[in-house]
Structure 1
């Protein structure tokens, strides 16, 4: 190379960082030349002359070193990549990862400590682990956070509280502590003599704040009513247990009050569930605001509340509180610009005189509350043993009636309805009786109210309708008897969504002629839910079923509802009929008859017992009547026997009555 020296070539390769290895073959044999070549990056220096084998060995050695260098670089790159990846994973982990040395000081902690506890990593490295532990958990942390055990004995999923640097308003720092779930393990090294030495602790702490909040919410929901935020039945019973234990020690009494809101169903149905819910919230707030801190007001049902009043001196304290609650309800509740007035029926039991268990106290307060309900509502009553006897009797009736409906213990009696002017029998009213296997015949006034309270009136009413239709159909086909059939229904039946369809299905199954069936409902029942009554009765009327208002005159007697309802018949209540006297003013019953005639409605007078009443009703224009003057309610066989003897329904003298042993006029 006449124009370029070998050293210049090596300098060029070095300056441009060319990836190649250099072997120098030179005629210069001095040591300095060889040293200079090696310093400039030559891998080997061969003197001329050289043997080919020597050159080949040199090339082979350089290639081997080159391969080793490339392999080493690859390993280093992989190690760097792996280290970067692990560092990224550790620092971006949702968990706090740490290493402690053998003295319990932080040798490493990832960046999660910043977002979790508010500390920089530099603030923690070298510090003792106790710096991060809440004071309540220091003792436990010595055996968990600073774990020395390894293998199966190491800490798994232990719960601790860590202390944050400051309360910065974050959701984690609301109380200055962060609950974590900790897993940690001791780290050991093996010595030359095969023994192991403890060198530190590796641990992972996971934030469980959200889980704890969820657990607290679930716990709250388990013991509180979510609508009113008042304690629920479970929490009430727990507090009652504690209050009873306290009363035993102090010798003082406590009171349990069972509060049932009167007419809440009407409010809820007429104004909507939103208003009903808002009313319950406002009632709970108003009551709670007037109670002592030690008192517990709990919502235990739709419109039912229980109140625990501990540490009272005598029953007068309970009486005063009950009267205070009733006074609180005198002020209306304003919801959506509506004034809503409520009242409570309150039953009270006293510990220990009315029971020594929580179940007996609550049950006895409930019994006393029902006593108030039955007496007209809006008041309070203390439990007594007489109430228990009555309640037990009602429970026996309910259980027995439930069985009677399914075991054929019920039967129907029929009371004839006569044309006043010609004495013809026009129809019959079906009346249920209970043939009890031990007590004999039980009259409806002993079980109908229980059936209404328990909801059994629905299956009972369905049974009566089905059986009455079966009987009247059989009379038509087998006896050639054609009568109008009256069957009583309750408002609870009308409120059922499926009642109209069920009633129509029963009538269709028996293929009764149009206008044969007349359903009777009391005036008072209709007023409980006028909108629902109008809707259901209108659907029935459109299918040819006649509608009668029973006990007319004892309720609201409003011309408005008479015009809105699809009514065919008014049944004048027996209290007005019994008031008919020859020489006295009978203007009320005369007005009822005149009103019915003006509205083109049929009339039936109930409870007719003498000729004087018949004569006046006839003169006033009432066409039909039923009562003891004509007949008591009688069983089917007696009714059919009478009809056969008197020529079916062709007429009879009013003195000819059906013989019956049923003599109580209240069962008409």
Structure 2
């Protein structure tokens, strides 16, 4: 039994507990059984418990109590020891035999040491002596019920933890990823079952072993680099892709995406998640940690082998021909662009060979498409034997192949490869029991003579190849300007050109003209491009000669002038400086009787300022009919339009001719600029620029491609520069963007 001081402490504690809402909730839900054979005591206790807020039943003796305890579940039994039928000890024995988990508080007048100790040994929580104080009873009941509630919650928590542990093991071992933990030395302390399924390593094979046992040296180094700083407090989660060879398989490799982060002493403590998040967010916390806080590494390894293989296959499909496994058109163009850029930097040459098989259609139609595919595969294998290191062979489609020879010393290198290709394909191909013979026609375009960009080189190599076809197939031919319009495609090009204006296939491109002193874009030259629906982009040299012969040049030139004026007028209105528009005019245009009225009325209609237009005439055009030109050009000059002589130095004009014409600008032909290092050529440039200075004419140097040429021309006093060193001809949207960027830079510099 408790002392009076202990009772008082218990009462004070009970009062504190009763103020707690959880205790009040437990009291309201508790069910109590009062067992006594004195009716007055039963009624008194029931009334008191009801006032306290408990649900109370009564049993008038030991036997009824046993019956009620067997039928109904009670949280607490207030049990008297002295009863006639069954005493309290017998009731407790009954409860113990049947494992009835009801808490017991003895309320009895029997207070001998033996009775009290026996009751407590048999499971009684407390012992209250009759007569009792209500406050003492209330305190004892509250304490016992609270203890019962805590025991119940402890059991539930333990069950939840067991279920959580089972669930955790199930989730970890059923994870599609390998889950692992390493200690601070890098040895495995845990690994789930997925390691065995994916890599063949059982848990016992890894736990206690260093992770170097499953990684190749290169991958080991990458993982170490990725986890560098973990032991210094850097808690940033890391992601890395590594390759792991499965156990017992030296050839297979699986790709994994690892996610790893450090385990610190605070990781598993209360509030560890909040602590970890705080560390991740606060760099100063990282620095505050020392190496003793680092325990190890937790990580997951996701198998991404199928994804990587799919990505590799998709990437291969995007850039390769699946039949021959050669680079396709897209990859070839990419490599050609890079080769051109490299050649410009190093002043080298390259060659593009366009290959078209002869008699392939006969084999394909005779033996079937399956045999045709096998033939193409065999051709690809033979052609690859002709390649040097760094060359690129591509299948463009059908029976067309294209070969890139970067950094050749001259035409002879390309010639040797072409001969080699022709010879290697002369040998017969065995297709099942059939012997097939094919030949090849090869067109060659050399950079920079046959083109200075990707489209030109491919197109001109294609034209050269068709020239070989036209003369009887099998052989090779270098591209030349004379091939552009030949007998085999003349009628076709003429027919397509007549439709091109109506179909909107022509485009105006603009090449900037740069001030040599300020670097500003002060003008653009309008150049026409034909976006042919099947032949791709055609350059002026490929259709202008035929357009001049068929007189279609008048309509094309007028269209170019109108559209160029519309676009440049938009730029002028947009505030991008005082841009000058230079437009090439054909002889047929200027010879037209209505040339001057047509030009002036168009400028008025479009509200294009005449002083911003410069017409370009070739030196040979001037010499053809000087007398008829003088009047027209003076009339145009009087209207405000300026006049330039294009390709100057290639014709036969004299100083007297130049003096008669209202000329503002001389354009030095690119042939004199390209080899400007040569003393003889430099003398010609010197003479032209000196003559222009004497005549007080503006100078524009065409075809400037190197800084050496630029600096030389600037020293001579050449006012304007045009060429690939600054930019090739660009579509209108790209040209205006370049102008806008330079204009804004100038504006920023002045402010």
TMscore range, shorter length = 0.3 to 0.5
Give the structure with the larger helix fraction: 2
Using structure 1 for the length normalisation, give the TM-score.
0.48
* Greater relative contact order (Cα < 8 A, sep 6+): 1
The TM-score, its normalising length taken from structure 2, stands at 0.43
